Amino acid sequence: MGSCVPGAFAHLDHTILELDDAVSEARFNMTRLIENKSLPETWQDVEPDMQRSGVQHIHGKRRWVFIYENANEKDSTKRTIKIFMTPLGNFISFEYVQSFN
């Protein structure tokens, strides 16, 4: 993956959400994933790991990437997820990732 940018900036006509707004959008997307049964309800109160979350460059495009870890998940292959969003906070996808803890 690309480098993390610890904040959000507006560059000319390229707009990106401020961090607080991006966190709110990530929370909204997490709730939708739970409501759609894509994630179990145990994810409801899980907060993003802000040390590892932020703006990343993926395939030449800026993306918000929020990383969540759910210690209550029994299946270790489903304990960590990433939620990907556009710079404006539109949901792209989520994926389970291998946890290295």
pLDDT digits (tens, 9 = 90+) for 7-24: 444 444 468 899 999 999
Residue 12 within any structural domain of the chain: no
Residue 2 within any structural domain of the chain: no
pLDDT of 78: 93
Range of the domain at 70: 19-97
Q: Higher-confidence residue: 6 or 25? A: 25
Residue 8: both structure tokens together: 């959000």
Residue 10 within any structural domain of the chain: no
Residue 41 within any structural domain of the chain: yes
Query: Cα(60)–Cα(80) distance, rounded to whole angstroms?
Result: 24
Residue 73 within any structural domain of the chain: yes
Query: Cα(61)–Cα(63) distance, rounded to whole angstroms?
Result: 6
pLDDT digits (tens, 9 = 90+) for 27-81: 999 999 999 999 999 999 999 999 999 999 999 999 999 999 999 999 989 999 9
Cβ-count burial of 99 within 10 angstroms (0-12 exposed, 13-18 middle, 19+ buried)? middle
Report the predicted TM-score, pTM, of the whole model to 2 decimal places: 0.82
Q: Is the pLDDT of residue 100 over 60?
A: no
* φ and ψ at residue 83, rounded to 5 degrees: -110, 125
pLDDT of 15: 85
Residue 79 within any structural domain of the chain: yes
Residue 78 within any structural domain of the chain: yes
pLDDT of 98: 82
Give the chain's domain count: 1
3 state DSSP class of 45: coil
Residue 40 within any structural domain of the chain: yes
